[in-house]
Amino acid sequence: MDEDNRQAREPQPTLTPQQEARLDAKALELELLGGERRLRRREVAAGAGVSLLSARKLWRAMGFPNLGDEDVAFTERDQEALTTVLNLVRDGHLTEEAAISVSRAIGQMTDRMVVWQVEALVEDLVAERGVSDADARRSLIRELPALIEPLETMLVYSWRRQLNAGVQRLALRAQEGLESSAHGRDGGEDDAPLPLARAVGFADLVSYTSLSRRMNEKTLAALVQRFENKCAEIISVGGGRLVKTVGDEVLFNCETPVAGAEISLALAEAMAEDDLLPDARVSMVWGRVLSRLGDIYGPTVNLAARLTALAEPGTVLIDATTAASLNSDERFVLIPQKVQHIRGFGEIHPVTLARGRGEGLVLD
């Protein structure tokens, strides 16, 4: 008893910030992974009743790093997750190829989402508490446990809403889009090589490269974030889908030429009216696309990208075929431009799209 009291009275060694961060990270890992890492990869595969080769295919699809046979890196929850995916194959709901593709989608999207969330939380801590970036990252490890459950709830909620919207867009209304493609490049034929009719658009900030050279990292990040946020809001309100952002450029699509035209004009107008952002070049093309891995492909996408480079700052450029689908709509003014030769497409008749009657998209 006296020994216990003596030890209690002795000063405990002070931990360095790095040591405290490691302890906090270990506690966070236990909560996120559902327990200690106790299993090797062969044990997890055997517990799920599958070969190590099949298990590794799924883990690679999820974006997990390569591990050796002696690495104790897995928990019981890893085994449960692997079993869940394998049961979808065993019960005939998915083929092995589909299971790998779905797993890859989950891995890639959650990886990007986590990076985005962590950086957003760090930025907020720096701004609100006036601490350094390094201190903010250490603080985040301590504060994340209180955020795990609400963030997980939001993730599942959003996924269910997005899945419903995706089914409506990509399955139920896909035929409606094809039927409305009488003005498209294939005449709306059911046996066309690409399955979905879509309006595809790009918005590209003018002079981004030169601006990035003059700005510090924080200012440039704020500019890009402002641009992305504005684009995401406009595309969402217009009923479109933000496919991806690449620095100073966004790619979006939607189900009708009219929706594509409204979104395109709103994007060009929003950037022109924003004192903190440069103008944007915008293009939009109506045609067939292939949707894979969350991205879209095909000549329609390529042509829209080429037209973006030809557009004047603050304007929207479309091609003649897309213009034909909007010709009788009083909400739009179509201004033919001189013929351009575009590699891979030959002679193209660009048309500047301008606002006609009506106020366009209304943002809350």
Which pLDDT belongs to residue 182? 47
Q: Where are the domains of the chain?
A: 14-168, 176-355
Distances in Å between the Cα of 199 and the Cα atoms of 31, 138, 151, 156, 279 are 44, 45, 33, 29, 22
DSSP string covering 230-258: HHHHHHHHTT-EEEEEETTEEEEEESSHH
Q: Which of these, 69, 64, 62, lies nearest to 84 by C-alpha position?
A: 62
Which pLDDT belongs to residue 354? 96
Which pLDDT belongs to residue 46? 96
Other Cβ atoms closer than 10 A to 106: 15
Write down the CATH number for the domain with range 176-355. 3.30.70.1230
Q: Model's pTM, two decimal places?
A: 0.70
- Digit-coded pLDDT (tens) for 32-80: 999 999 999 999 999 999 999 999 999 999 998 888 899 999 999 999 9
Query: H or E element: which one contains 124?
Result: helix 96-129
Ramachandran angles phi, psi of 340, nearest 5°: -120, 140
CA-to-CA distance for 351 and 264, rounded, in angstroms? 13
Looking at residue 205, its amino acid is: L
Strands 241-246 and 346-348: unpaired
Q: Are 247 and 208 in contact (CB under 8 A)?
A: yes
Bridge partners for 116 per DSSP: none
Which regions in the chain score pLDDT beneath 70?
A: 1-12, 172-195, 364
DSSP string covering 275-296: TTS--EEEEEEEEEEEEETTEE
DSSP string covering 136-195: HHHHHHHHTHHHHHHHHHHHHHHHHHHHHHHHIIIIITHHHHHHTGGGSTTTT-TT-SS-
- Which of 43-62 are b and which e, b meaning 16 or more Cβ less than 10 Å from the residue's Cβ? ebbebbebeeebbebbbebb
CA-to-CA distance for 342 and 97, rounded, in angstroms? 38
Read off the tokens for 322.
């897309």
Tell me how many degrees the CA angle 348-352-354 measures, rounded to the nearest 5.
155
Percentages of the chain per state (helix, strand, coil), in multiples of 5: 55, 15, 25
CA-to-CA distance for 267 and 269, rounded, in angstroms? 5
- Digit-coded pLDDT (tens) for 3-38: 556 555 666 678 787 788 888 889 999 999 999 999
Strands 316-319 and 280-292: parallel
Which pLDDT belongs to residue 295? 86
Distances in Å between the Cα of 165 and the Cα atoms of 40, 161, 262, 294, 307 are 39, 6, 20, 14, 29
CA-to-CA distance for 126 and 137, rounded, in angstroms? 9
CA-to-CA distance for 288 and 190, rounded, in angstroms? 11
